[in-house]
Structure 1
Amino acid sequence: MNDYRPIAVVALVAFASLAFAGSALAQSAIAANVAKPGSLPEIAIGSAKAPVTITEYSSMSCPHCAAFSQNVLPMLRSKYIDTGKVRFVFREFPLDIKAAAASILARCAGKGDSEKYLSAVETLFKLQERLMAQTKDTLIYVGKLHGMSEQEVETCEKDQAQFDKLTADQQYAYSELKVTSTPTFFLNGVRLQGSMSFEELEERLKPLLKK
């Protein structure tokens, strides 16, 4: 029996190596799919050369997403994004029509500038309860805070092409990336679902930054 043990061990090691390689390839493929440009312009902050990319799928009607924006993102930004260690990508995954309308407003307010867009998103999250209860009035109010007239807000919200692009990006996230809820995060291709504290996120980050 002893004669067969080395062969068995070698076989197990080889199998483990293949399994690990397969897992790494799968993760790499997911990361590539996450990185594919969507129909809407990319919203990203931080260095394109950062070793870690965090992609968040978020809904303006999601309380956990609002909590992440207000409590976690500022610390993530100061410690990792602004220091060139992390690139942060924000993606819309509206869970309802109110969230979709808010996303489109942020797009119009941002005018292609990621910082302006995220500033509008931050305002919308702070006013989330009001947005859900008085959607139209809140959209007009937030639009004005970000330099838009009431007419510009109304024109923005009637832009069906933008809504179609938003829907296409959401469908891709659902079918190809298996995003089904918010917030969903991808850390270099590893999918994480649900709310996270800064400490929990940092624990996930540190091993990736050591590689």
Structure 2
Amino acid sequence: MPCHIRFGATLNVHRPIAFVVLVAFASLVLAGAAMAQSTIAANVAKPVSLPDMAIGSEKAPVTITEYSSMSCPHCAAFGQNVFPMLRSKYIDTGKVRFVFREFPLDIKAAAASILARCISKGDSEKYLAAVELMFKLQDRLMTQTKDTLIYVGKQHGMSEEDVKTCEEDQAQFDKLSNDQQYAHRELKVTSTPTFFLNGVKLQGSMTFEELEERITPLLKK
């Protein structure tokens, strides 16, 4: 008897057992995936070295955490073209809480992040305003970093000496580095922008329509 026919006969005999095993295996896989996703969500929500810069209701059903670099053109495009619509429709209406975290791709981006922190003094709105300005001046920030940082600082009431003192705060740079290493190690962030929607990772630039498509089902739960 041909081998494939014998195999078919054997398979038919054990089909009920095989089906049960497959169902059990699938259940384990789904449970494992759910547990892994739960772990990622918990790791995203953990406090990091630097205080989170967040806006929106803490009771919002959706939390978006963005990892961004001041030197990233895609991050600047998101900040200028997508974020205002996201804020108007979802953040200011209490549906989304937005958390901005730094993931500097180079020392210039790190310096810009530290300046935004100094400008804000813990105020998320002041922080985001500084970030917005630096995104608008991104080309200049990359080619004339020191002068641009001084300019941005002055626009927010800082003297040149204040900016210099801010940029020499090694403790802040160390915290920034620690947070970046945590994001890379625990959350597998490797590029910017990277978003987490209620813990689900979305990597790369997104249009408002693409983001809204992801948000809408979460609001219905």
1:165 to 2:175 alignment? yes
For 1:188, which of 175, 178, 198 is the aligned residue?
198
For 2:134, which of 119, 124, 134 is the aligned residue?
124
Q: Mapping of 1:42-61 within 5 angstroms? A: 42-61=52-71
For 1:206, which of 183, 191, 216 is the aligned residue?
216
Deviations 1:90-142 (A, max 9, x none): 00000011000000000000010001000000000000000001001100111
The answer for the alignment partner of 2:96 in structure 1 is 86
Alpha-carbon distance in 2 for matches of 1:14, 1:208:
28
Structure 1 residue 3: Cα displacement: 6.9
Structure 1 residue 6: Cα displacement: 4.7
For 1:100, which of 110, 113, 126 is the aligned residue?
110
Deviations 1:39-62 (A, max 9, x none): 111111111111111111000000
> 3-state SS of the aligned residue for 1:87?
strand
For 1:135, which of 137, 145, 162 is the aligned residue?
145
- For 2:80, the aligned partner's letter is Q
Q: TM-score of the superposition, structure 1-length normalised?
A: 0.95
The answer for the alignment partner of 2:87 in structure 1 is 77
Alpha-carbon distance in 2 for matches of 1:77, 1:18:
39
Q: TM-score of the superposition, structure 2-length normalised?
A: 0.91
Alpha-carbon distance in 2 for matches of 1:195, 1:27:
22
Between stretches 184-193 and 103-112, larger displacement belongs to 184-193
Greater C-alpha radius of gyration: 2
Alpha-carbon distance in 1 for matches of 2:214, 2:17:
37
Structure 1 residues without counterparts, runs of 5 or longer: none
Structure 1 residue 9: Cα displacement: 3.8
Structure 1 residue 187: Cα displacement: 1.0
Give the share of equivalent positions with the same residue, in percent. Answer: 83
Q: Mapping of 1:6-17 within 5 angstroms? A: 6-17=16-27
How many residues are paired up?
Answer: 211
